[in-house]
Amino acid sequence: MTVLPLVFDAPRRTKPPRHLADLTRDEARAAVTELGQPAFRADQLARHFYAGVTDPALMTDLPAASRDDLTAALLPGLLTPVRHQSADGGRTRKTLWRLHDGALVESVLMRYPERATVCISSQAGCGMACPFCATGQSGLTRNLSAAEIIGQAVAAAAAMANGEIPGGPGRLSNVVFMGMGEPLANYARVRKTLDALLTPAPHGLGLAQRSVTVSTVGVVPAIRKLTEEGLNVTLAVSLHAPDDELRDTLVPINTRWNVAEVLGAADDFARRTGRRYSIEYALIRDINDQPFRADLLGKLLSKRLAHVNLIPLNPTPGSKWDASPLPAQREFVARLRAAGVPTTVRDTRGSDIDGACGQLAAADQVEGIPSIAVPVPETDQWPRPEARPELARDEEDGVLQTLGGESDQ
């Protein structure tokens, strides 16, 4: 298995076309007036976009003579479905999307009896280089724009509303940023996506804050920035090891921000929100599933506002590792619960279509659009939090910007 470097800087690529979802409401209204239309047309376009309407002919509240021009200018097609794959009797559907530049990403829509959840991607590929994760081993192609991220959720909401998933028409209730990419390495666009997910219709999807989960391998400055933003979304930390020695290997970002620093930032988030954060822990046979590591994890978390999600490792092509056997899983759960740590074993969906946690890789590479990895920045460019925690590199924009700052996309 090739060992990839950590990659924080998204490679420069051609930016997607301008899209309404990348603009503030005022910017959208200004863009519409530049096209010679009254400003309220922007609100009409937003209503159609978030309702999943893609055919201009169905936008009957827009003047027939202007529909094509308005949609071409502000609602360009950014996500083209390449294929759908279904599992679990059709209740799990993975979609492979082609972006404007040929890059590929995946999202997974899962319908349960009481809810419907979509797992969305925030980057094409991933630069975090976790060796047991197919996405991490694919390398980083680029950051997604806010509109490209939002579009995955909008498509899932439309699929539910149109009854495309067995069970009849329904409503998208949950969004998890657990698809391809490290969400907090694309902070500004993920933050803009959160606004769109939480804003009531017609200018957003109107989801509850608690129904949106943002996952991270531990980009501590961005966790702290998210805390300062004051959102009550759910935070999920992909820990996968309780000790720095092992986590340095399994989750290479640990060499930048160690276990204590990551949990400290998550604790601050929990104190501000009053809500538990989730610890994601992939159980890997003979690697991180030993009883002593369960005890160490229990000791770390017993007095924290945290809940552990154990995930039996999902198989990925070429991986030398596999899932912990059931007896080891049961003992790990028992030891954590004995330490007073709330623990569940995740219901893995879509593993037979490579749609489960750690399996998304968009394996169908477009010719000439390979996944690439660029060298990790020097330490003074991506400092540890005690130095300059507010700064992160964003090579896609070609600037050094503050986390949460607006991009020019």
Show which residues are catalytic.
Answer: 106, 357
**The pair of three-digit structure tokens given for residue 207, joined into one six-digit string:** 């989801």
Pairing mode, strands 140-143 and 123-125: antiparallel
C-alpha to C-alpha distance for 121 and 379, rounded to whole angstroms: 27
Is 240 annotated to bind ligand?
A: yes
Pairing mode, strands 306-312 and 80-87: unpaired
Q: Return the closest-CA partner of residue 218 out of 244, 234, 239.
A: 239
DSSP string, 281-326: EEEBTTTT--HHHHHHHHHHHTTSSEEEEEEEPPP-TT-S--BPPH
Is 173 annotated to bind ligand?
A: no
- What's 372's DSSP letter? B
Is 66 annotated to bind ligand?
A: no
**Sign of the alpha-carbon dihedral angle for 307, 308, 311, 312:** negative
Q: Which residues 6+ apart lie within 8 Å of 399 measured at CB?
A: none
C-alpha to C-alpha distance for 144 and 188, rounded to whole angstroms: 11
C-alpha to C-alpha distance for 304 and 143, rounded to whole angstroms: 33
Is 181 annotated to bind ligand?
A: yes
Is 167 annotated to bind ligand?
A: no
Is 119 annotated to bind ligand?
A: no
Is 238 annotated to bind ligand?
A: yes
Is 182 annotated to bind ligand?
A: yes
Q: For 182, phi and psi rounded to 5 degrees? A: -95, 105
Pairing mode, strands 80-87 and 92-98: antiparallel
Q: For 307, phi and psi rounded to 5 degrees? A: -130, 135
User: According to DSSP H, which parts of 145-258 are helical?
Assistant: 146-161, 187-198, 220-229, 244-250
**Sign of the alpha-carbon dihedral angle for 57, 61, 65, 70:** negative
Q: Return the closest-CA partner of residue 199 out of 393, 25, 409.
A: 25
Q: How far apart are the first and last CA of the chain?
A: 35
Q: Which helix (H) or strand (E) holds 388?
A: none
Detail the residues annotated as belonging to a binding site: 126, 130, 133, 181-182, 215, 238-240, 314
Binding residues for [4Fe-4S] cluster: 126, 130, 133
Q: Which residues are annotated as a binding site for S-adenosyl-L-methionine?
A: 181-182, 215, 238-240, 314
